[in-house]
Structure 1
Amino acid sequence: MTLRYIPTSFPNPTVADIDARLDDICVNEGVSIPWAIESGSRAWGFPSPDSDFDCRFVFVRPIEQHLSPWLRRDVIETPLVGELDVNGWDLAKAFHLLLKGNAVIIEWLRSPIIYRGERWFRDELLGFATRLADRDLIAKHYLHLGERQRRVYFADGTNVPQKKIFYALRPAATLRWLRHHPGAAIAPMHFPTLMSECDPPAELASLVAELIERKSVTRELGSEPLPAAIAAFIDNEFELARTSFASRAEPASADARSQAKKLYQKLVHRAFATAPS
């Protein structure tokens, strides 16, 4: 079953441009694209009127390319033109990063905005991630992501670009969600849902809701001091994460790698069995 969920607010010409790029990639690169979604602020649930369209996709190369001694790149990038950003990963890259605790592919698989997608592909890969994703490594991914955003955009808390607050706030909320859901490794991608499920302090929830509302209607929020409640939430969650989640970097187990190999082979074969001619 092919999936496609695109908000009616998305301009038709932009969607047509994304579809055309994906079609061109399939033809010019000789690949199958079983999953293409919107990532970034539009999918996370805090877009601005001028937010880019961040299409991300997973591609699968045909079997004969796997047998060649000349390896192809594991990413496909297209030119950034205006507000359109379309880039993708080889399925093998997605598996490698997933087993290292990189949560990006998990977010792609859970995006609510789908340009084109095969349900079987999403369900198989997401099921694998749900079974084998290491919550400590996932937490480490979000901690490093959040710390980097905190350091780059508002280390001293003064004159903070208000749009950038979300890029540290989202990892902090994810870490809180993981602490509140000790049996789970995969948090909601949609930020308002994530916030509602991580039981934030009332003052913080109010501030965040106001920021999302302002961001949705204005192209420029400007720069202001970092609100104390947001700074305290972010810093507290990062500090708790450093002690709540195991700090380790073991390679994926032999069993996980074996399961990944079997699923990879299955997905490669099926992608081309169902790819349009």
Structure 2
Amino acid sequence: MQSITREIERKLKEIEEKENVTVIMAVESGSRAWGFASKDSDYDVRFLYVRSREDYLKLQPPRDVIEWQLDEVLDINGWDIRKALVLLYKSNPTLFEWCNSPIVYRTSRKFDDFRALALRYFSPKAALYHYWSTAYGVKKNFLQGETVRMKKYLYALRPLLACRWIIDKNLPPPILFDTLVKEELPEPLIREVDALLQKKKEGMETSMIARVPALQEYIESSLEEIRLAAGDSVSDSPVWDELDAYFLGLFE
């Protein structure tokens, strides 16, 4: 782990030098952050960066994303802080996942301030629809046959449990799957899920297995319950003022 961490830090410095940006945070996203990576899972590194004041004043500003590397080991890309703030106004769930990632490669005071600001823009309604849509897509596309790809159960369950967390606590869900399982999954299903997790961690994530009736039923009933809950949830009207103040403060 130390060697890959050093390599990621080297890549971040390379990005800063070649793109003339400052990386204010970098975290792990995806299965490693969720806690159920397999032996051959790559490293999904996501970062936020700040450009110079002059770059933001150009009539043709640079792109607001940096896609740096994608291979069997590293998947590295990041967002401009201005893009991130615009998406935060819309309560983009991806940003909350990055803010809560348990694997942090780089942080800063500027990111600490961003994370504190983000909590004030969390919309349970937007998050519920996002996670519901993710789970529904997995169920529709991958969990219809008599045999299914094992890991797809995990990819359907995680967003559903995230929804239940939001409904129960009105807060952004934790990233670690184990935490969601312990807090939100009914006790009779935990053994089934633990068995799937163990197989995935052993590198059997592409294995096809027979449908698990108990999980199928839970997924289908949860989708309907959460759809109704999302429709009943209330969405606050956000304001731009604090986001503008944060952005301008980056250059003081």
Deviation of 1:197 (Å):
1.6
Residue 251 (structure 2) aligns with: 269
User: Where does 1:71-150 land on structure 2 (aligned, <5 Å)?
Assistant: 71-118=61-108, 120-150=109-139
Deviation of 1:69 (Å):
0.5
Q: Percent identity?
A: 33
Deviation of 1:219 (Å):
4.5
Closer/same/farther in 2, CA of residues 144 and 101 from structure 1, 3 Å limit:
farther
- TM-score with structure 1 setting the length: 0.84
Residue 167 (structure 2) aligns with: 179
For 1:177, what is the secondary structure of its paired residue?
Answer: helix
Q: Which runs of 5+ in 1 are unaligned?
A: 1-9, 271-277
Closer/same/farther in 2, CA of residues 265 and 152 from structure 1, 3 Å limit:
farther
Q: Distance in 2 between matches of 1:167 and 1:256?
A: 33
Deviation of 1:48 (Å):
0.5
User: Where does 1:98-247 land on structure 2 (aligned, <5 Å)?
Assistant: 98-118=88-108, 120-154=109-143, 156-181=144-169, 184-198=170-184, 200-246=185-231
Closer/same/farther in 2, CA of residues 157 and 55 from structure 1, 3 Å limit:
same
Q: Distance in 2 between matches of 1:109 and 1:168?
A: 22
Q: Identify the match of residue 15 of structure 1 among 5, 29, 41.
A: 5
The Cα offsets for residues 25-77 of structure 1, whole Å up to 9 and x where unpaired, read as: 10111111010011111110111111111111111111110011012111100
Q: Which runs of 5+ in 2 are unaligned?
A: none
The Cα offsets for residues 211-251 of structure 1, whole Å up to 9 and x where unpaired, read as: 1122112244501133112212222222111111237998x
Deviation of 1:186 (Å):
0.7
Query: Residue type matched to 2:38 in 1?
Result: S
Q: Distance in 2 between matches of 1:101 and 1:61?
A: 23
Q: Distance in 2 between matches of 1:242 and 1:99?
A: 23
For 2:239, what is the secondary structure of its paired residue?
Answer: helix
Count of paired positions: 252
Residue 3 (structure 1) aligns with: none
Q: Distance in 2 between matches of 1:130 and 1:185?
A: 8
Query: Residue type matched to 1:24 in 2?
Result: E
Give runs of ≥4 in structure 1 deviating > 6 Å.
247-250
Deviation of 1:79 (Å):
3.0
Residue 240 (structure 2) aligns with: 257
Aligned-pair RMSD on alpha carbons? 2.1
Closer/same/farther in 2, CA of residues 220 and 134 from structure 1, 3 Å limit:
closer
Indicate conservation of the 8 Å contact 1:101/1:133, yes or no: yes
Q: Distance in 2 between matches of 1:263 and 1:142?
A: 28
For 1:78, what is the secondary structure of its paired residue?
Answer: strand
For 2:251, what is the secondary structure of its paired residue?
Answer: helix
